[in-house]
Every structure is written in structure tokens, then in C-alpha cells.
Chain A
């Protein structure tokens, strides 16, 4: 009985995850191509994708390594991109925190923007789900997303240098990031944070070691939090 219902929740999760394939596939290929063009061998491109499994931070690391920023700046900036996942982890703990350690370890590995968004929305909407149903749904949502992320990074890495510069691929990264951020500009606080981020990043571009972005990001984060506090 329990096994059967878990299975159906796994499939529900899979189905919910499928539309995100449209976002994951181009983004993954783009990382493969960009990493190869930056000079990374396939093994390291795949190392990023499998070990880090967080696209935006991988792009950030790649960009800063290409600009020869010092290693601690590369890592600090890329980790800053991923800090939002602490919020995801906290939000899912009331729902999945009772699982045995190995399952929580697995869930953490595939805790990405899309799986978090799908699962959290489902758990908040349906209050009568059991622990195993929730876990099945979460892992179901990861099933079409995470393997394709790895597979299409690999295809991108194989295509690599084969794409001529006329295609403007240098600009695929800015477009991808803007397309990810713009829909999230839901409130005045988000917009204020984004504007501070842009203005300070441009103003501080000559700060040595690419530290300007970190300063801009901290100021922007505080701006967003402060605007939210004053408006509520």
C-alpha cells in the first residue's frame, strides 16, 4: 500500500519536473560550450556539473577564473550565488527532516531551484501528505531535471569550440542570467536590490581582484532586506 502510493507520488513529481527540461537543457549545453571555450577539458567541465550541480555558480566561477581573479574570490563569489539554497534547505526541513540521514544526504544533493520550487509548493498546498509521499515527490521532480543537466553539459562540452563566434555565444550567459532573474523581480525590494547590485558592480569594476561584485552583492542584499522591513 505505502509502496504503491509512494510510487504514484514519484510519478507525479516526474511529471511536474518535465516542463523545466526546457530551461535546464539549454542552460546545461551553454555551460558545456562556455567551459570548453574557456579552455577546460571535458573532465573538468563534467567535474563542475556533477560535483557542484548549480549552474549559475558554475558560470560565475568560470567567468571569474577567465578573468584570473584569485581563487578565494572565485569561490566566495560562486558560493554567494548559492547561499539562497540555505533558505531552501530550511524550508524543506519541516517536511523532509524526519528521513534517515542517507536520504537527507541524497535529497540535499539534488536540492536545486526547480526541485525546491516544485516540492515546496506541493507540500504547502497538500497538508495530508506522508513523509514517504513527500520524499517520493521530491525525488520524482529531480528525476527529469538532474540527469539531463549532466547529460546536456556533456553534449555542450563535445560541441564546444565548434560554434563560430558570429553566433554571439559570448552573450548567451548574460541573456540566460537576465532571463532567470527578471521574472523574480516581484516586489519593490527585489527591484531595489537588483538596481543597487548593477550600479555598484559597474561603479566598483576597477576594485582589484574582482572584489567589487562581492561588495555590490552584500550591499544589494542589505538593501532588499531593508526595503522589505520598511514596507511591512
Chain B
């Protein structure tokens, strides 16, 4: 990482203020006004629009293997998604994914 310490503090400060303003937006500034339906419709998908795209390259090209696709990591990702999708349990999915990673790594070692 080439970020210097003051630069990282700047990221923390700007991200902190920006995030707080998002949280404070309606409660503190805009008040009780209904959101236009088109805006609500977009906001509903922000998490699911950004997190999968953030994770996808890390799953397919893991830094730990110098970007070479890796069976244990792919299997762990698939198990995590499957468990989360069908059982709806966050902790269960994380544990299942981690366990899959370890089992595959042990089998392939």
C-alpha cells in the first residue's frame, strides 16, 4: 500500500463524515417526506449491487495464490452462497464456507 498515514486519516475522516451524513439525511435534515418510488427502488439494491462485484475478483483471482484460480476458494465461496441463499443464516454460511476452505485445503495438500 502506497497510502501515507495522513492520506489514510483523510480517507477515514471523509468516509466518516459522508457515512454520517447518509445516516443523518432524513432523520436530521430532510425530515418526514416520502421518498419518490423510483429512488426507493434503486436504494433497495445498493448492497446487492456492490458487494458481489467487490468479492467476485477476490474469489476468481485470489491474491494469496497470485491470481491463479484455486479450487478450495471457489468451493468455499459456492458453499457460502448456497448456505446463505437456502438457510438464510449469516453465521451458518460463514462457518460452512470456512470449513469448506479448510477441508479442501487439507484434502489437496
A interface list, Cβ under 8 A from B: 22-23, 26, 38-41, 44, 47-48, 51-54, 56-57, 60-61, 63, 65-66, 68, 71, 74-75, 77-90, 92-94, 96-97, 101, 104-105, 107-109, 111, 165, 168, 170-185, 189-190, 193-198, 200-202, 205, 213, 216-218, 220-225, 228-229
- Does B107 count as interface, using CB distance less than 8 angstroms? no
B19–A52 CB distance below 8 A: yes
Q: Which single member of A89, A198, A225 contacts B25 (CB below 8 Å)? A: A89
Residues of A within 8 A of B83 (CB): 179, 182
Known: A104-B27, A111-B23, A177-B51. A189 touches B45 (CB 8 A): yes
Residues of A within 8 A of B60 (CB): 202
How many chain B residues touch A (Cβ–Cβ < 8 Å)? 75
**Could you mark each residue 6-47 of chain B with 1 if its beta carbon is under 8 Å from any beta carbon of chain A, else 0?**
011111111110111011111110111001001011111111
A182–B93 CB distance below 8 A: yes
| Known contacts A81-B50, A197-B48, A228-B45; 14 further A-B pairs (Cβ under 8 A) | A26-B94, A47-B9, A48-B12, A48-B15, A51-B15, A84-B43, A87-B46, A90-B25, A105-B24, A108-B23, A180-B84, A181-B48, A182-B80, A183-B90
CA–CA, A107 and B10, complex, Å? 25
Known: A77-B50, A85-B19, A190-B45. A23 touches B91 (CB 8 A): yes
Known: A170-B63, A174-B77, A182-B84. A52 touches B16 (CB 8 A): yes
Residues of A within 8 A of B31 (CB): 93, 97
Known: A90-B26, A92-B27, A97-B31. A229 touches B41 (CB 8 A): yes
B1–A104 CB distance below 8 A: no
CB-based nearest B residue for A79: B18
Residues of B within 8 A of A196 (CB): 49
Q: Could you write out 22 A-B pairs with CB less than 8 Å apart? A: A47-B9, A52-B15, A87-B43, A90-B30, A93-B31, A96-B27, A97-B32, A168-B73, A174-B77, A175-B101, A178-B93, A180-B51, A182-B84, A183-B87, A185-B84, A196-B49, A197-B48, A197-B52, A220-B45, A220-B53, A221-B42, A224-B45
CB-based nearest B residue for A227: B45
* SS class, residues of chain B in contact with chain A: helix
Residues of A within 8 A of B19 (CB): 52-54, 57, 79, 82, 85
Shortest C-beta distance, A115 to chain B (Å), equals 11
A193–B48 CB distance below 8 A: yes
**Could you mark each residue 78-109 of chain B with 1 if its beta carbon is under 8 Å from any beta carbon of chain A, else 0?**
00111111011111011001100110010000
